Chains A and B, each alone.
Chain A
């Protein structure tokens, strides 16, 4: 499946078809991250039921140092 994550086009294995699986794929399941799918924020408790589709634009963001 072709998706764009954080502005980078990439190919995901077909088994990675849920937001929760995407996080596991990148070893992020324990991290404080916030996910946006096509500009729609995906609530944490919906990660396991939110389906990824070809062409999705995904943002994976977190908190960094700032003033």
Chain B
């Protein structure tokens, strides 16, 4: 079970809801992923087109926990404002703190992220900050009282996979709260590796929404996360330099 604050989830795959080709494909992908946590962004509504379809309205909200993000925020103040708006919906109290510090790489601003997380914790949010794969920052986020840390594998939407597996493993080894690898995952192999490195969950969006067949990819990611987790729990064999025969050396017919 993945435990985030007071919530328990069977699925360790968290899914983003952006950039799908259609609502129907998206709905099928969400079903195939088995995800119980879905991320959303908070934006101004087009009030002159109120009948515009909205994905949230197509979901059975009993089945999913919403994880709104503060995407678009560049300062702690902006992130806090978005977080408060999301909570005022009455639908959720989890928040993915995302404060972008660089428009080209979309890497997060660690200082503003910490500031926002501190304020939101005081206000009773379940706080999941999105951070770079910084070992010390991950520890400070945890010490602050955050309910999870979400280091990126590589920059958002790049599908580059895990750029620095060593850092990610340092983070999972030291953590006492769930580590959810968020952003940069491209393939099922990346998701499985994240889990094998000790992550408690994976959050991805573009890897599924931009796949040729998002529904099939959603299922592949579900299986990859499960396989990676099982592999982690099973404990992999040590690597060795030279070969070691699996068949016995004794009893050969020509000896």
On A, residues with C-beta under 8 Å from B are 5-7, 26-28, 31-34, 36, 39, 41, 43-44, 59-67
Contact = CB atoms under 8 A, between A and B. Distances in A.
A62 B69 contact: no
B34 interface: no
Contacts of A63: 40-42, 54, 56, 66, 68, 86, 89
Interface string B145-159: 000000000001100
A66 B45 contact: no
Nearest to A33: B45
B88 interface: yes
Given A6-B44, A26-B47, A64-B40, A32 B91 contact: yes
Contacts of B124: none
A63 B42 CA distance: 5
Interface string B97-117: 000000000000000000000
B57 interface: yes
Q: How large is the interface on B (under 10, 10 to 19, 20 to 34, 35 or more residues)?
A: 35 or more
Nearest to A59: B44
A63 B19 CA distance: 14
Contact of B40 (A28, A34, A39, A65): A65
B35 interface: no
A34 B86 contact: yes
B253 interface: no
Contacts of A31: 45, 50, 54
Nearest to A43: B88
B43 interface: yes
Nearest to B16: A67
Nearest to B207: A67
Contacts of B85: 34, 36, 41, 59, 61
Given A6-B45, A43-B88, A59-B44, A64 B50 contact: no
A17 to B, nearest CB: 17
Contacts of B43: 61-62, 64
A67 B39 contact: yes
14 contacts: A28-B50, A31-B54, A34-B88, A34-B89, A39-B81, A41-B85, A43-B88, A59-B85, A60-B44, A61-B43, A63-B89, A64-B40, A66-B39, A66-B40
Given A27-B51, A62-B45, A66-B18, 20 more contacts: A31-B45, A32-B57, A32-B89, A34-B85, A34-B89, A41-B88, A44-B88, A60-B44, A61-B43, A62-B42, A63-B54, A63-B86, A64-B54, A64-B55, A65-B17, A65-B26, A65-B55, A66-B69, A67-B71, A67-B206
